[in-house]
Structure 1
Amino acid sequence: MTDATALLDRHARGWTLASTALALLPLLLQLPAMLAGSIAATALLTALVSRRGLLPVPVRLLLVLAMLALIYLQMGIRPGRDTGCALLAAMLAIKSSELRTLRDARSLLGFALFAPFAAFLLDQGPLTTSLATLAGICALLALQRLAQAEGQAHPPPLRVQLRGVARLVVLGLPLALATFWLFPRLSQPLWGLPERAIGRPGLSDSMEPGQWLDLMADDTPALRAQFHGPAPSAGQRYWRGPVLSHFDGRRWERDRRTEQRAPEHVEPGTQRWDYTIDYEPTDRRQLVALDLPGSAPEGTHLSADYSLLSDRPLAALTRWRLQSAPPEVFAPSLSPWQRQLMLALPEGFNPRTAALARQWRAAAGTDDAALVRRGLDWIGAEFAYSLETPLPGRNAVDEFLFEQKVGFCEHFSSAFVVLMRNADIPARVVTGFAGGVRNPIGDYWVVRRMDAHAWAEVWLAGRGWVRVDPTAAVAPERIYDTLEDRLGAGDGGMQGAWRQTGQAMDWLRRGWNDLVLSFDANRQRQLLRPFGLPDLKPGQLIAGFIIIALLALGTMAWVLARGERERDPLLRAWHRLCRRHAKLGLGREPAEAAMDWAHRVHAQHPDPALLALSQRFVHARYAGTHVDRAALLADLRRHRPTSGATP
């Protein structure tokens, strides 16, 4: 007689808590560090304190309120996927305060298994998947241990338990693979998942002083690009993102009208780049492309200023095939509203910059290109690059151009565009990424979030919009403080080893993205194309899934039933003995009793040893007679049909 309300022993409690911690880990890795650390500390403290008994209800209520307050302080009141995941993690952390009986342990394990699945709402990478798989295996081991504790059975060695769990995993794998490959995928979800309360780092529709430092300090990949042909040079790897044209004296913003207007006229140059990008999720609609994209792939559109936008928020990894070419002529004419927009400046800001621009205009006459060159020459002669810059006051451009003369791309692009507009040259700020690092393992390029960059475009008669990067004009000897310098500090040999390790890890992550995360409805339809077969239709996918699922479930049921029937090693050895005789035409019928079969074989070909073995087996298996099972097992395995037996 078993009792699910029996108290947990020390080992069963340890297995339960270890499995819960492992299930919680992939979820904590996706939450803000401070919040994740607080939840982990609460979970550990609760488990230690509740060893001696259940925590009082007021204490548990206080823990719940403390967790809710902490989540509010970190994420605010806005609901989101990460808010819900944080609530789940917090409740799981204090659930061990109720852990006392076998029933409580099963309840905790069932609740804990929600955590790795919730983590997939925030990340589907290989680390999260590996930890979730490990948590599931550990939970199965813990459930086995609870069943043994409930039945008061002596637990088998760990390797035996692992073998049983591995068997279950192998049995379920065909069904899981069939679901992944064949269950019809929708090009769009039936429902929309809520956005995250804390946004992912990514390019914004605005730019203001100090805003970019967090993004530029992020060394994680923003995109990976594979070129189908020659790769562009470093000076051509400008990944175009949001174009900012409205300035209020401090903040640059995109003009929303450009999203609804047709792209400006472009005459592309002779050079072409064909490439595929894997774009990391940002929960925004903004994409990037090499300057300038020739067309928008399906599911995207180009704004009037050639900024590429997705039709849906980029909440997951996406893959895009693009073609780009540097322009020969980009928008050779400006409409009146465009010219007005690209010259607009707020009243009463940056008077010294306005006075300097008027002075330069008087000296240059109508030569706009000369004004642009003069601005770049000034930067190259007197300005420096550094991330250590104070936040500006009201006249930010005046302070940068005439007092500080030190900054990074955010300062240079903004000040240059304001200077050009004051000189009556249409200009705008373009944001995106610049550069990228080639990974020789796989021959692709990685563009990191810290490669975020801002440059300028000025409109010149006869050429249209021309890219100008004032940050690149800074003399090399006056580049004082860069992110690469900070990240590259340390021993050179160790740095090289870490770089190679990082390249290998990124290559593995890209392979995971290729095989798993980018397997969408389109690739599913093309599943059999490598074998020369046509694309699969939804009905064919469903039929294939049903057939394989039924076969997998049938095999699973047969194996489990057979394993239950033959859990006794004596029975397994007996069946092997019967199969050895079946090869000679002396097999046992399904409903034939053991002794009846032995007498039938003996009648056709005398075998007294078989009769004796069968009698001992029947006594041991069915009569409950005391028999030396080890000796019987050895004799069953050793016995062979008597030489000369015939059908």
Structure 2
Amino acid sequence: MLKRAISLGALPRDTRDTLFLLLVIAWVMMPQVGNLPWWCSLLAGGVLAWRAIIAVTGKPLPGRWWIAGILVVALGATWRTHNTLLGRDAGVTLIVVLLALKTLELRARRDAFVIFFLGFFAMLTNFFFSQTLPVAAAMLLGLLGLLTALVNAHLPVGRPPLAEAAKTAAWMALLGAPIMAVMFLLFPRFAPLWGIPADAMSGRSGLSANMQVGNVASLALDESVAFRVKFEGEPPAQSDLYFRGPVLSNFDGREWRPLQARPGSRFPIVYFGASGLEGLGTPVRYQVTLEPHNRPWLLVLDAAVKPPAAPGMEAIMSTELQWFSTRPVTDLLRYQAESYVDFRHGPRNSAALPQEYTQLPPGFNPQTQNLADEIKAEFPGNPAAQVRAAMNRLRTGGYSYTLEPGVYGQHTADEFWFTRKEGFCEHIASAFVVLLRGMDIPARLVTGYQGGQRNSVDGFWIVRQSDAHAWTEVWLAGQGWVRVDPTSAVMPGRTGSFQRLVAPQSVFTTAMNSVNPSLAANLRAAWEALNNSWNQWILNYTQSKQLDLLKNLGFKSPSWEDLSYVLIAIIVALALVGAAWSWWDRRVHDPWLRLLSRARKRLNAAGLELGSAAPPRQIATLVTARFGEDGRRLADWFLRLEAQRYARRPEADLRALRREFQQLPWPA
């Protein structure tokens, strides 16, 4: 190992610099592996490895025909993968390919500069897919790496250490940080140019536009954050934290879908309008920070009477109490909301209900229909008692809550009630609604999130994809729609004390929990609080916040033009201050210039008129002409002062000249 380290340390400068640049490029590309086609990642990695072998062995670079051939193949593969050469995904693929191929043309400094700037652009493309804190930290390291390589390319011949270039690059980044902060605060922000890929939640916990019952044999708990909630004052009880999502009412025997949209509507609902919603008691006010999910759904606590409020967002509620934005949520969204935990909703007369709420597909679940007939005969004309009887069967019939129920057959409700007697919340809620509709009780299936966990560090409630839940709503005469959660009958801790089936833990997490569970929990809470701060103050810094900043600065009705004017004024002012500081520092603080100024003053006092810009060599000539042999030592000192400006060890030579200054025979 020591021998290998010594041989690497003895590599020529060009080889060392090339390997360092390839390492930085690989670091910039690494976060994109999950977003790129598999062939692109293999191609880029192979080209970088090929270029590293060429650098170490000293073999010649491939000819242009080789590079052109690889480029043509990459263009064809990009077209085959994305069906276009334009757009975000195809564009990023081509940028990565071009950056990798350009390293095969790295012959001169000019080629290196092209690679540097392509690397900066490739680094930027990482934020098209993810703007999380880890990605930002990784790209900050990538930025410092590219700046180090750029500084190193400008250093003189020889073998300057990379540490010296890294120090200069870090200092440059630190000096540029104030400008970066000003640009972040004041550069006008417009609507996003890129969205996020379509979601793919099949087989994972989370929400979907429809729900297929029994097609997923096992459910993987997704621990990623769905949204965060900050309550004003005391939050509701954990068992009351039902965040409403899509409402599913159409059932074809296997799949639940929303009610059909009205003609011309983009939303999966019958119509918008008065919902008969009445809030009871004191409303709960809170703030939601919703992660992007590429859907128009706005998650709110049941039930919100007023529209969720966010700058530039228009919210609309369906007759089923689901709130929508007028466009998909493709970026982090923060909005204020107000909800009632206790509420009344729905018509008092069943004639006003759509017929879909009691419909069942013919030929499905005959055993469940027989069970419905038995309960209905036992409690004739009493729908409330029939609902209670169905819940009591869940409590006492040996049913269980599991994430691995296996694949269900055609009659999903029959299998749940009579054969398997196990499933996760979608099986339980679906079978329950089928049973109630078999008794001619209007019922529908509601999906969303239930519960959450309070972060002790920042006080935000974190709701994860693993908190996704399905429950039912039953229409009862004189009461309207009433929430009934059948899962709570099978597993009361799911919504009460909030016991939860947990996902398998990693080896590191298991080890941490076995050594110190409280430490592991505190570390996770601190990390999530840090991520939340990043979301709140960085990712969610919108144009409205910029305008609020201008209002605090005294603008009455600020606009994005005012942002531009303020930004330009600050940049110009900083540029003038920087120029003045540079001139002042060079004239006043430069020790060489200070010593030359003191020498000029001595000669001016002796009657030798010198200009303020006279260089040392000119002063030496004037001293020789004026004082002859008496001024030879003084003239020689000025010549050595000029040579010191370009010395290898300027500090040491300048100290010697400063000491000699006191001993020179200055003329009176």
TM-score (norm 1): 0.83
What amino acid is the match of 1:297?
A: P
Structure 1, residues 458-506: CA drift from partner, whole Å, max 9, x if none?
Answer: 1111111111111111156999x96416348664434433222111111
Q: 1:221 to 1:212 in 2, by over 3 A?
A: farther
Q: 1:32 to 1:228 in 2, by over 3 A?
A: farther
Note if 1:574 corresponds to 2:592. Answer: yes
Note if 1:115 corresponds to 2:122. Answer: yes
Report matched runs for 1:326-337 at 5 Å.
326-333=341-348, 336=351
What corresponds to 1:443 in structure 2? 459
2:113 to 100, 106, 120: 106
Q: 1:555 to 1:636 in 2, by over 3 A?
A: farther
1:472 to 482, 488, 491: 488
CA distance in 1, matches of 2:529, 2:631: 61
CA distance in 2, matches of 1:12, 1:553: 33
Contact kept in structure 2, 1:223 and 1:279, CA below 8 Å = yes
What corresponds to 2:148 in structure 1? 141
What corresponds to 1:393 in structure 2? 409
1:542 to 564, 571, 596: 564
Structure 1, residues 508-558: CA drift from partner, whole Å, max 9, x if none?
Answer: 111111211111111111115567875634343222111012123445567
Note if 1:496 corresponds to 2:518. Answer: yes
Question: 338-347 or 279-288, which moves further after superposition?
Answer: 338-347
SS in 1 for 2:297: coil
What corresponds to 2:134 in structure 1? 127
SS in 2 for 1:525: helix
Report matched runs for 1:599-614 at 5 Å.
none
Shift of 1:178: 2.1
Q: Percent identity?
A: 31
Contact kept in structure 2, 1:8 and 1:102, CA below 8 Å = no
Shift of 1:383: 0.6
What corresponds to 1:341 in structure 2? 356
What corresponds to 2:3 in structure 1? none
- Give the length in aligned residue pairs: 618
1:407 to 423, 428, 433: 423
Contact kept in structure 1, 2:217 and 2:405, CA below 8 Å = no
Q: 1:559 to 1:48 in 2, by over 3 A?
A: same
Q: 1:280 to 1:218 in 2, by over 3 A?
A: same
What corresponds to 1:527 in structure 2? 549
CA distance in 1, matches of 2:218, 2:95: 28
Note if 1:462 corresponds to 2:484. Answer: no
What amino acid is the match of 2:358?
A: L
Q: 1:208 to 1:43 in 2, by over 3 A?
A: farther
What amino acid is the match of 1:113?
A: F
Structure 1, residues 555-594: CA drift from partner, whole Å, max 9, x if none?
Answer: 556778999x89xxxx942223357799999999653445
Note if 1:16 corresponds to 2:17. Answer: no
Question: 512-521 or 82-91, which moves further after superposition?
Answer: 82-91
What corresponds to 2:249 in structure 1? 245
Shift of 1:94: 4.9
1:616 to 630, 633, 637: 637
Note if 1:269 corresponds to 2:268. Answer: no
CA distance in 2, matches of 1:194, 1:476: 39
What corresponds to 1:423 in structure 2? 439
CA distance in 1, matches of 2:152, 2:220: 49
What amino acid is the match of 2:237?
A: S
Gaps of 5+ in 1: 1-6, 602-608
Question: 533-542 or 290-299, which moves further after superposition?
Answer: 533-542
CA distance in 2, matches of 1:146, 1:504: 41
Q: 1:611 to 1:295 in 2, by over 3 A?
A: farther
Contact kept in structure 2, 1:8 and 1:100, CA below 8 Å = no
Shift of 1:22: 2.3
SS in 1 for 2:293: coil
Q: 1:414 to 1:66 in 2, by over 3 A?
A: farther
Gaps of 5+ in 2: 1-11, 263-268, 624-629
Note if 1:304 corresponds to 2:319. Answer: yes
SS in 1 for 2:331: coil
CA distance in 2, matches of 1:467, 1:402: 25
What corresponds to 1:606 in structure 2? none
CA distance in 2, matches of 1:243, 1:627: 77
CA distance in 1, matches of 2:89, 2:218: 20
Contact kept in structure 1, 2:246 and 2:448, CA below 8 Å = yes
Shift of 1:393: 1.6
What amino acid is the match of 2:654?
A: L
What corresponds to 1:193 in structure 2? 194
What corresponds to 2:7 in structure 1? none
Report matched runs for 1:145-224 at 5 Å.
145-148=152-155, 153-186=157-190, 188-189=191-192, 192-193=193-194, 196=197, 203-209=207-213, 217-224=221-228
Contact kept in structure 2, 1:27 and 1:115, CA below 8 Å = no
Note if 1:369 corresponds to 2:374. Answer: no
Shift of 1:86: 4.1
Structure 1, residues 250-270: CA drift from partner, whole Å, max 9, x if none?
Answer: 111112342641141112120
What amino acid is the match of 1:109?
A: F
CA RMSD in angstroms comes to 4.2
1:508 to 516, 526, 530: 530
Shift of 1:396: 1.5
CA distance in 2, matches of 1:551, 1:214: 62
SS in 1 for 2:96: helix
CA distance in 1, matches of 2:518, 2:75: 43
CA distance in 2, matches of 1:489, 1:472: 29
